[in-house]
Amino acid sequence: MEVCVFSWLLTALSVGLYGKYTYAEDWCDHLVVSPPFLLVEYGSPAEANCSVTKTNQTLNNYQLGWESKASQPYTNNESSVMWKVDSLTMWEEDQIICYLTVRRTSCENKVNVTIYKSPDSVTLSSMSDVWVSGDQTQLRCQIENVGPGRKLSVRWSRADPNQKNIFIQINETSFPDLVNKMESVNVTAYLNVTPSREDDGAQYQCAALLNLDKNLKQITSQPITITVHHWCDHLVVSPPFLLVEYGSPAEANCSVTKTNQTLNNYQLGWESKSSQPYTNNESSVMWKVDSLTMWEEDQIICYLTVRRTSCENKVNVTIYKSPDSVTLSSMSDVWVSGDQTQLRCQIENVGPGRKLSVRWSRADPNQKNIFIQINETSFPDLVNKMESVNVTAYLNVTPSREDDGAQYQCAALLNLDKNLKQITSQPITITVHHWCDHLVVSPPFLLVEYGSPAEANCSVTKTNQTLNNYQLGWESKSSQPYTNNESSVMWKVDSLTMWEEDQIICYLTVRRTSCENKVNVTIYKSPDSVTLSSMSDVWVSGDQTQLRCQIENVGPGRKLSVRWSRADPNQKNIFIQINETSFPDLVNKMESVNVTAYLNVTPSREDDGAQYQCAALLNLDKNLKQITSQPITITVHPGIKTHITVLIIIIVLIIIIAAVSISYTYYRCKGKKGQQEGLESS
């Protein structure tokens, strides 16, 4: 506001002071150009006028003119001047300027000039003679002599087969290379199209588009209508896939069914590793081999080629080879319950290896021939094996008694995509032996005195199963008798002196399997002597003393203990156990030993006449052997305390007796004296 007021003041002052002068600036509002901009086709004439409109102020001594590349007309003191070219061909002429100069000042007005060149031609064509649905192809738009290059783009449009001539823009191609191109150019644009079946009959167009600031010039090509071929619908293979046994003949036919479209100059043929038959312009071709032995032949392809384009139809080929044999066998001649064994399935000449697996199945003893799959063996090593192979598969089986009579089968399984081929072995029936139940030892355990003879018998009781080619025997430290194919074997020693012989084992071996039955052996040695004695010659009541029990040659040491017993003086020979001595040092002693055990005893006077015994005790698992010493009878002497007590009692008695006799004597004397006195007094 302040600036405006100031500016107004300044103007007023200027006018007031220098009113006779005029300045160009004041006239710019009256400098009129017409038209305000020019849009000119290249080579056409062009003109523009510039004039000073009349005003109340008088204007004189001025120049009015045009600046431009093409021409520079001007006039002095005339109210208008014309810019004019007969044929505008100067692409750089993008602006012409009208100026008014009054003495030292000037002002100007610009006219933008836009030159363009409509293309001589816009031509749309297809890069493929034949369009096939699904195959990408190109449309080409050629534009000749259009400018300026920097304002050019190409529009692509398309009309639906059902809505002819209603074109909808689908893409636009721009030309980044031409952004600085002032002049006209020749360009070719391409559009990638992958037609679908529904595009059949569609129309395409392209258009050169000049984006001229205030104006869009669009020059459109003639439309083209496309025909989309889909021969694959008409290219028929039969059968759609082949499953062929190795070495068998195989054939497949490929034909073109008649269509409304005329088809000529084409080739119809097969591509395959075995053979490549083809025909020109015939409607069908046969692929045929007498004996298919090419494992790699997993796909054959029928093709139809029309000039530069082609289409194809594939036939998957699956070749297989049924095995020459599938043989199931057992790795053990004899099956024994609880022993793991193996079944072996041998398959010869089966293919392809990569599609092979082995199925194992089993029928219950009670449900013969109702096989249920129990396992499957696959062959990861063979995943890339196209050809036939020989394989052996194993199944681990640990039979139980209930499996006796069960049946097993194995089968080669070819998993052929749409088809499963299964070739099964003959079943085998297994007999599960459990001989151990029939292996009888007698006696079930042995208790033998050291140095005595011993024997045990082992026999196989008869069963329904035939048993042959076997060995029956004993394992022991003393001896190892055995027999082949006899039903019993005796273990026997004349004098058992081997303390370590704590278990003997009867075994039955049938070829590679065996079972066994054990007999525990307990050897013992009764002591040569068990001697009880007292460590004191004289037993005094209240004094602790010891009893000693000496045991000679008793075994095994680890099973020995000593029992102490006592009979009351009043109940002779009724011994009651009073203590037991064990021998922790001997826990590992298998052999016989000499031991001495002691018992501390502090007798009382009542023990006088009591009897003691000791006994060697062998704790032989199922048996207790006890060997007892001769008893000893003890005489308990009174101790010193008793003597003193008796002495004191005697002394006290003596004193009492003495006192009593003294006082008696006294009173008796006194009585006599009285009597005497009485007698005397009387």
Ligand X SMILES: *[C@@H]1O[C@H](CO)[C@@H](O)[C@H](O)[C@H]1NC(C)=O
At CA 331, angle to CA 327 and CA 333, rounded to 5? Answer: 110
- Residue 139 · residue 170 · CB < 8 Å: no
Q: Which is nearer to ligand X, 316 or 645 (CB)?
A: 316
Q: Which is nearer to ligand X, 137 or 184 (CB)?
A: 184
Q: Which is nearer to ligand X, 596 or 633 (CB)?
A: 596
Positions in 130-149 near ligand X (CB under 6 A): 144-145
Q: Which of 171, 253, 330, 457 binds ligand X (CB under 6 A)?
A: 171
The region, left, alpha or beta by phi > 0 then psi within -120 to 50, assigned to residue 55 is beta
The Cα–Cα gap between 507 and 516 comes to 4
CB 156 to ligand X: min, Å: 8
Please report, for residues 70, 121, 163, 213, 388, the alpha-carbon distance to residue 150 in angstroms, rounded to integers and kept in the order given.
22, 18, 34, 12, 69
Count other Cβ atoms within 10 Å, centred on residue 223: 17
Nearest to 144 by CA among 185, 173, 114: 185
Q: Which is nearer to ligand X, 170 or 652 (CB)?
A: 170
Q: Applying CB under 6 A, does 186 fall inside the site for ligand X?
A: yes
If residue 11 lies in a helix (H) or strand (E), which one and from where to where?
helix 2-18
Peptide bond into 161 cis (omega under 30): no
CB 174 to ligand X: min, Å: 10
Which region, judged by CB under 6 A, interacts with ligand X, from 161-169, 328-336, 479-487, 586-594? 586-594
Q: Which is nearer to ligand X, 161 or 638 (CB)?
A: 161
Q: Which is nearer to ligand X, 376 or 642 (CB)?
A: 376
Q: Applying CB under 6 A, does 389 fall inside the site for ligand X?
A: yes
Q: Applying CB under 6 A, does 349 fall inside the site for ligand X?
A: yes
Q: Applying CB under 6 A, does 56 fall inside the site for ligand X?
A: yes
Nearest to 446 by CA among 555, 527, 523: 523
Q: Which is nearer to ligand X, 49 or 642 (CB)?
A: 49
Residues 2, 8, 14, 16: what is their CA dihedral angle, to the nearest 10 degrees?
A: -120
Count the site residues for ligand X by CB under 6 A. 39
Q: Applying CB under 6 A, does 579 fall inside the site for ligand X?
A: yes
Positions in 243-282 near ligand X (CB under 6 A): 260
The Cα–Cα gap between 50 and 64 comes to 8
Nearest to 591 by CA among 615, 627, 558: 558
Q: Which is nearer to ligand X, 309 or 553 (CB)?
A: 553
Q: Which of 592, 611, 613, 629 binds ligand X (CB under 6 A)?
A: 592
Task: Give the burial class of 348: count Cβ atoms within 10 A of its Cβ; 0-12 exposed, 13-18 middle, 19 or more buried.
Answer: middle
Phi, psi of 151 (to 5 degrees): -110, 15
Q: Which of 14, 53, 192, 479 binds ligand X (CB under 6 A)?
A: 192
Q: Which is nearer to ligand X, 509 or 579 (CB)?
A: 579
Q: Which of 395, 472, 547, 567 binds ligand X (CB under 6 A)?
A: 395
CB 555 to ligand X: min, Å: 8
Positions in 605-644 near ligand X (CB under 6 A): none
Q: Applying CB under 6 A, does 553 fall inside the site for ligand X?
A: yes
Q: Which is nearer to ligand X, 144 or 251 (CB)?
A: 144
What count of residues does the chain have?
682
Q: Applying CB under 6 A, does 102 fall inside the site for ligand X?
A: no
- Residue 42 · residue 70 · CB < 8 Å: no
Per-residue tokens: 552 = 């000679």
Nearest to 578 by CA among 603, 614, 546: 614
CB 92 to ligand X: min, Å: 13
Q: Which residues of the shown chain bind ligand X in the complex (CB under 6 A)?
A: 36-37, 56, 112, 144-145, 170-171, 184-186, 191-192, 240-241, 260, 316, 348-349, 374-375, 388-390, 395-396, 444-445, 464, 520, 552-553, 578-579, 592-594, 599-600
